[in-house]
Chains A and B, each alone.
Chain A
Amino acid sequence: MTNNHLSDDLPLLLTGDATRAVVLEAATHLRSCVDCQQELVSAVVAHASLMSAHRFAPEIVAPKDSSDDNVVELPPISALPDLSKVFAEARAEDVTPTRVHHLRSRRALVAVAASAAVIVGGGATYLATQSDTAGPNTRTVALAGQSAALNGSAVLVGNNRMRIDASKLPPLSAGKQYEVWLTDGTQKQPVGYIDSPDRKKELTVPSKVMSQYNQIAVSVQQPHQTEYSGITVLRGTYG
């Protein structure tokens, strides 16, 4: 080992898996190898972070939520206390220019003539039969998830299309699906499933429907479940 870089053996030195011989040989090598010294520093940073996090906050760093191999079941956002009153107060106080712009945009959306909609499959999917007149303007809405690492986004194209990117969400076990909803915090309207393997989906939604709500939510639906499951994994405000 003395002449070979340690690389793959560094974790052994930290986790206690190394034999006495490995430790002593590694020590000899480390005293003279700058590259391995640098790698050891990096390994120590990660090792110490993992040990500390698991010792003091296991519920955060290692939540027990796996039920199937390679599939992570997300805890529902609804597990958090309902702070809708606080949010409503914040909205009521808001007078920022951005908010004024959003309100005007929303009114403009309402004013656009609605396209006819065909509801397919018990209201799960909308198909617009007539294009709206809005230009090709786009804007991106951040969809917040359970953690910053599990966020998504929705690119709104004009006022009747959206491209959902939920690729950071984990794949679901067989039968379960991610479903996209529009909501105003009270009422919810299903607008389509994210059924592609990359968890990206383009949906067309009538502008009238878009204007009736102001948030996009993505839920985890059980097999054959048509009602909102209550398990929201992404949410963002667009109006």
Chain B
Amino acid sequence: MSEPHNEQVSMESALAEIGERLNRGQPEALEDAYRTLGPLVMSYLSRYVPQPDIEDVMQRVFYEVWRVHERYDPDQSLRGWVLSIARKRAIDHLRKRRDVVVPLDSMREITGDDGREIAERLVWADEVRGALDMLPVLQREVIELAYFEGYTQTEIAVALDIPLGTVKTRTARGLQRMSGLLENTRRR
């Protein structure tokens, strides 16, 4: 199994460092958390909260992140902690919206296990993106074409004008390295 890449360590270290500073009550850490995790929270909220209300809920989420920063345990995932707050604030928001019809399925989904599962999947996706970004560009390129664009390995070889064997090698090495990166992330 490939060793975790040093940069992955620094990537997760950056998040851990933000979390530690947040726990200590440094306001700059809140801004750093927002810049780093804002897109993830936006993505989660956009599944449940009407678009015009997202900014309002985002404000509530990050205000609460600040208000309860002492409760954050730096040994836990900062992504997961922030998304758990986002889930609660989204539920509050949907319950308060008595003036409009909120789809019952949305309420059931976010308040039940599905809401937690989706939050967990988004955290995972963010970790996967982070691991991909740590791969050498040649390995990342073939993996993205295969998994996100639906190319076969033969098609990748044609598209990039490289031998099929090279595509196989880059893909295999990229997956091995990704596995190490992802497992290292989960151990933190």
Contacts and interface: CB of A to CB of B under 8 A. Distances in A.
Contacts of A237: 28, 31
A96 B27 CA distance: 9
A18 B73 CA distance: 46
A237 B168 CA distance: 44
Contact of B1 (A12, A38, A94): A38
Contact of B30 (A87, A99, A145, A148): A87
A43 B179 contact: yes
Contact of B128 (A50, A75, A77, A145): A50
A237 B21 CA distance: 13
Interface string A189-229: 00000000000000000000000000000000000000000
A175 B174 CA distance: 32
Interface in A38-52: 38-39, 41-43, 45-47, 49-52
B11 interface: yes
B39 A146 contact: yes
Contacts of A54: 147-148
A53 B124 contact: yes
A235 B172 contact: no
Contact of A147 (B18, B28, B130): B130
Contacts of A145: 35-36
A96 B25 contact: yes
B81 interface: no
B58 A83 contact: yes
16 contacts: A11-B146, A42-B180, A43-B176, A46-B175, A50-B128, A57-B126, A60-B40, A60-B129, A61-B126, A61-B148, A83-B34, A86-B66, A87-B31, A147-B133, A148-B14, A235-B31
Given A86-B62, A145-B36, 18 more contacts: A8-B169, A41-B179, A42-B1, A43-B179, A45-B179, A46-B174, A52-B121, A53-B128, A56-B122, A58-B148, A61-B128, A81-B54, A87-B31, A90-B30, A94-B27, A147-B126, A149-B7, A149-B11
Interface of A: 7-12, 15, 17, 38-39, 41-43, 45-47, 49-54, 56-62, 70, 75, 77, 80-81, 83, 85-87, 89-91, 93-94, 96, 98-99, 142, 144-151, 235-237
Closest 4 CB pairs of A and B: A57-B125, A42-B179, A149-B133, A53-B125
